[in-house]
Every structure is written in structure tokens, then in C-alpha cells.
Chains A and B, each alone.
Chain A
Amino acid sequence: KNEVEQSPQNLTAQEGEFITINCSYSVGISALHWLQQHPGGGIVSLFMLSSGKKKHGRLIATINIQEKHSSLHITASHPRDSAVYICAVSGTGNQFYFGTGTSLTVIP
């Protein structure tokens, strides 16, 4: 069993739809990260959070420490949001566990 599980693995949405990607983890963490990987491969760090909720533009990330669960929401989705979204958790020291990613395709 992976330390970090994401769902769904693949997601197709119509432009404008509200999107939710879920992440569950089984280890103790110091922080949870949401990353975005575009087809070219480069990775962008979207959020780092250890409690509550963060918002950046149309992206919202929440975390529930007790339930070991996080969600990434995208409001008013756009084709340029198409990418792989990766949930990762950092433990004590430099341990870093990655989910396998959610491939999102937003259709115009």
C-alpha cells in the first residue's frame, strides 16, 4: 500500500466545471504539498499546507489532519488547467512521499 493515495487517477471535465481531486495519506507528516506537472514534465509547487485551507486564484487546497485527507479544488476549470496533479507529503527530516498523480483533461 502506498503512503499516499490519490483519486481519481484520471479525470475529464468540461470547461467551467468545478473539479475536486482527493488525497489520503497514512504517515505522520509535517506538511502536504500539491504539485502540478505539465506534459513537458516540469513540476510547479501549487500549495504547501499543514492545516486548514489555502486559496490561490481558482485553486483551493484543504487538509484535515485528523482524517489524514486533503482535497484540491479547481473552480471554473479551463483547458490550461489540464495537467497531472500530484499530492505529496513531507515527513520528518527529508522524507517525501508522492502520490501517483491525477491526470486532468479539461475539454473546451
Chain B
Amino acid sequence: GAVVSQHPSRVICKSGTSVKIECRSLDFQATTMFWYRQFPKKSLMLMATSNEGSKATYEQGVEKDKFLINHASLTLSTLTVTSAHPEDSSFYICSARDVRGKRGYTFGSGTRLTVV
């Protein structure tokens, strides 16, 4: 079935550094991938929609210069948290939709980011 691989699963970084999170569709092509953030005991919040070969579409209130998204191929999207601060600590998760549309949305396993 459709599989999305997200890496790393956990990362701890120092304030001021940048962290890159990768989201790969392993057995299907995804022209569109989605990046979500989840706060403790809260629902998933859409941050941005990543489109292959074009600029990402960011949701209101999400800083595009802080959360850089690159979708350079049909199977890879990356989210870079730049100049990370402790308030960026969260659970980030990606999803992708199989272009064939049959399997709905497939989610990555998520990345737990802790900024110290």
C-alpha cells in the first residue's frame, strides 16, 4: 500500500540552529504533500501545502521564512525549521495524497522536535 516515510522521528537541537525534516512517498507519486503541526492533546494543524515544482502555500499565521518547504520531486518534500526556538518544539507530521486518489491521504510517522 501507499507508504510515506518521515525522517528523523526525533530530533533535539539547540536554539538558533536549523532542522530539516524529510517526507518521502515510497511507492507512489505525490504532487501534493501536507505539513502539519500537533500541540499536546490538540488536533493536527495544517501548516502548509507543498506542491511539486512550485512554491508552498502557507496557512494564515505560519511564517514562511521560518518554516521553509521544498518539494523538489514527486516523492520528496522537506520542511526546514530555521533558527529554531523552544516554542517551535512540537510534533510535525506530513501526509501525501496518492495522485491516483484511491487511498486517500497517507501519513508519515511524524517527527518530535525538541529545541533546547
Give the interface of A toward B (CB within 8 A).
31, 33, 35, 40-45, 48, 86, 88, 90, 94, 96, 98-101
Contacting A at CB under 8 A, from B20-53, are 32, 34, 38, 42-44, 46, 49
Is the beta-carbon distance between A45 and B106 smaller than 8 angstroms? yes
6 contacts between A and B (CB under 8 A): A33-B104, A43-B93, A43-B108, A45-B103, A90-B105, A98-B44
B: interface residue count bin: 20 to 34
Is the beta-carbon distance between A42 and B110 smaller than 8 angstroms? yes
The dominant DSSP class at the B interface is: strand
Given A41-B93, A94-B34: A100 and B107 interface contact (C-beta under 8 Å): no
Report chain B residues within 8 Å CB of A45.
Answer: 103-107
Min CB distance, A72 to chain B, in Å? 15
Closest 4 A-B residue pairs measured CB to CB? A48-B104, A42-B109, A43-B107, A41-B110
Is the beta-carbon distance between A43 and B43 smaller than 8 angstroms? no
Give Cα A98 to B47, complex, Å. Answer: 13
Report chain B residues within 8 Å CB of A33.
Answer: 104-105
Min CB distance, B50 to chain A, in Å? 11
